[in-house]
């Protein structure tokens, strides 16, 4: 997910003015809530959430095997 700096909002601002944050989400699709100046939460438009692709376990295993195969020498070196 690419973070648009215009979508950053503090947890204090979110707590005190949630309607403003909701309007931001309506306009941009998401808001990133910062806690102690660190991204901590994401507020998404529900329709956007439904559109997000979540990899199945099988897809994740295929990707992991491919990654391990491509970088096997490096992993072996790190395992020493």
pTM (two decimals)? 0.58
Q: pLDDT tens for residues 57-74?
A: 777 788 888 888 888 888
CATH code linked to domain 5-79:
3.40.1620.10
CB 28 within 8 A of CB 7: yes
Q: Read off the pLDDT of residues 44-56 as tens digits, 9 standing for 90 and up.
A: 988 877 666 666 7
Rounded to the nearest 5 percent, the helix, strand and coil shares of the chain are 60, 20, 20
Q: What is the DSSP string of 46-75?
A: HHHHHHS----HHHHHHHHHHHHHHTHHHH
Parse the chain into domains and list their residue ranges: 5-79
pLDDT at 50: 67
Burial class (CB in 10 A: 0-12, 13-18, 19+), 31: buried
The residue among 26 and 5 whose pLDDT is bigger is: 26
């Amino acid at each position: 997910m690419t973070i648009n700096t215009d979508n950053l909002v503090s947890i204090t601002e979110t707590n005190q003015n949630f309607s403003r944050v909701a309007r931001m989400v309506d306009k941009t699709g998401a808001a990133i809530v910062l806690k102690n100046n660190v991204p901590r939460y994401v507020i998404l438009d529900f329709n956007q959430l439904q559109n997000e692709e979540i990899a199945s376990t099988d897809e994740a295993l295929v990707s992991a095997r491919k990654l391990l195969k491509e970088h096997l020498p490096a992993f072996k070196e790190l395992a020493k």
